[in-house]
Structure 1
């Protein structure tokens, strides 16, 4: 049975949730690490509830943090085994949060950072109905042997996908963005991407704006810039 997870939430600015944005934090952090982004994005997505669950496991390398799965970088199959094992817990959480709000899968967006991006791409591409959007910061598409029950389903329509990465990332090099984008393209899943000059393993303001606009566009939410003209 999947381990129950939960975390901080930010309610829709409008008071009625029509979309659900799920943040998936990185290795050694917890749900509090990304929920502030939800507060910043409320003006872009006024009808969205934002939730940021704590990953199910305590992080061995950061006792105060959490992990979706162990990450030592020594085992080349480690990431694949990790996303496969953590997926049922994430899926159960998503199902629960959608049901609470009476929302369907096309009202869902997954936003990951680092290890959270690995989870967002892996789980999001394997749900029976695709989320509306997947936004991944500083991560990579995890590949491995597609064993029984783990093959990606043919989602129609597929999710909109955007990848954002720091040009100077020394933890997950920027090459991961191009590798992931190419692999997604080979799967018939075109991805938008943005490379942030001078940025390391993190998210900058430009990346946040790109992400917010991408989600708003994916959900069909109009975004206005500057004051309205009179008349």
Structure 2
């Protein structure tokens, strides 16, 4: 499947890293590409890509997986079904900008976080970083058996999130830590199911740190 996507070249003219955004239910790539507006000033060597979801959402926009309650086991099945098309898209984008798979970061929001974690922890080559907002793992009980790469992970989550309660983020951090993944959860007071300036600052610092670490130490 060919995905529609917004693309933004590295401001310096040479991409050393690729950030791929994965949006939430009923949204689109343009929504998350706004993150690049905040980040690109401090990331001159980063190219950004924001695809629209694999499927249309019933109430407008796009989706990667079904709209199901948190903890529904069918979310895992949905993620497994969506994964091949997204892996192929990611590989195509890396090839397009001339980067190897270790120079990838996935950034998700809500069900985009679900997919970023599902994909990133099962890539052949570990991405440089996985950053998720307002979302978490599906199939946590299967992670230890299925994980093939262990990139650093940060999850940023509003304490007042009613759609994806903070508890899910905490359980995701616990499961990843138990699987040997370096993972940090950042709860933000007063924030709901959303991303604010504070969340974007945490994310930028994390990505820059992860890129610097990978540059110095390799995969």
For normalisation by structure 1, the TM-score amounts to: 0.87
TM alignment of 1:120-159, pairs within 5 A: 120-143=116-139, 146=142, 152-155=146-149, 158-159=150-151
1 CA distance for matches of 2:174 and 2:147? 19
Contact residue 28 and residue 67 of structure 1 kept, 8 A = yes
- Tell me the CA shift for residue 72 of structure 1: 3.2
2:80 to 68, 84, 90: 84
Alpha-carbon distance change, 210 to 201 in structure 1, aligned in 2, over 3 angstroms: same
Per-residue CA distance 1:156-178 (angstroms, 9 max, x = gap): xx211100000000000011111
1:20 to 9, 14, 18: 18
Match of 1:227 in 2: none
Match of 2:5 in 1: 7
More helix by share: 2
2 CA distance for matches of 1:211 and 1:145? 27
Q: Structure 2 unaligned runs (5+)?
A: 214-219
CA-based RMSD of the aligned residues comes to 1.9
1 CA distance for matches of 2:16 and 2:170? 33
Larger radius of gyration: 1
Match of 1:33 in 2: 31
Contact residue 55 and residue 68 of structure 1 kept, 8 A = yes
2:67 to 68, 71, 82: 71
Contact residue 25 and residue 57 of structure 2 kept, 8 A = yes
Deviates more, 1:39-48 or 1:104-113: 39-48
Q: Structure 1 unaligned runs (5+)?
A: 222-231
For normalisation by structure 2, the TM-score amounts to: 0.92
SS of equivalent residue, structure 2 residue 5: coil
